[in-house]
Structure 1
C-alpha cells in the first residue's frame, strides 16, 4: 500500500527507480542489441518515457512499464535499421551518401595519388606498386627483381619520401 503512494514524478523516487532497475535494464538491452552504445541510448530513452508518463505510471507497475518501453524502443530501432538498409539497397551500390564536396575532394585526391605514382622514377614506382598494391613483402620483391632486400628498402624509402612530399601539398 505504501508503494502505491510513491509518486514517480518525485525526483528522489525517480532516482530510486533508476538505481533499482537501471543496471538490469541495461543488461537486458545489451543482450538484445549486442552493442553497449545502442543499449545506453535505448535505456536513456526508456527513462525519458517514464519521466514523460510519471503521472500515469504506478510505482507498483514501474518495472513492467520500463521493460515494455525498452523492448518497444529496441524493436523500433530494428525497424528503422531495416528501412535504412532497404533504402540503400533500392538506391543501389553506386549511390553515395557522402556530400558532393567530399566526393569531389576524394576524386581530386585519387588523381593526385595516381599522378604522383606515375611521376616516381621507374625503379621506385615498380617497388612501390609491388609492395603497396600487390602486397608483396620486401623479400619477395628482391627475389623477383634480383636485387638485395636493402635495395628494395632504399627504393621504397625514396618513393615514400616523394609520395609524402607531393601528397602533403593537396
Structure 2
C-alpha cells in the first residue's frame, strides 16, 4: 500500500487539469454510475447531504492518479464514496468523542437474565417431556398431587389404590423427572 493512500485529499499536490478524454471518461462514469452512487450515499448518509457527497466523490476521482486506468469505474467511485464516509465518521468521532469512562453506580454488572430465562425454558421443556413420557397411572397420580394439590389420602380415595401405592407412583415419577432433567449434574 502506498503512502499516498494515507494523505488527506486537501494535502495532495495539485493535479494537472484533466484532458478532454479524461473529462469525457469522468462524464461517462457520472452518467453511468451517478444515480447508483447517489442512492448509496442517501442510505449511508443523510438524504440532504448525498448530492454534495456525490460531487465530492467525483472531485476526488478527478484528482486521483488512478483515474487513467480504471477497469471498474463503478467500483472505483464506490470505494471513494466509502472512504469519504469513513473520513467523515472519523472526523465526527474526533470532534464529539463519547464519554466512555466507567461509573460503578451506572455500569454495574447485571445478571444474565436472558440466559437464565433460556435455561428455565429448556428445563421446563425437559420437565414436560418427562411428565408426558411417564406410564399413565404414574402420570395420573403425579398430576393429581402436584397440579390438583390432592393429598396422598385423597388420591387413595379417588383412585381406590393404597396410600403405599400412591407413594410408590410419586417416587417413580420424581425419579423419572430427575433422570430426564439430569438433576444429579
Q: TM-score, normalised by structure 1?
A: 0.42
Q: Comparing both structures, which one devotes a greater share of its residues to helix?
A: 1
**Whose Rg is larger?**
2
Q: TM-score, normalised by structure 2?
A: 0.38
Q: Which has the higher contact order (CA 8 A, sep 6+)?
A: 1
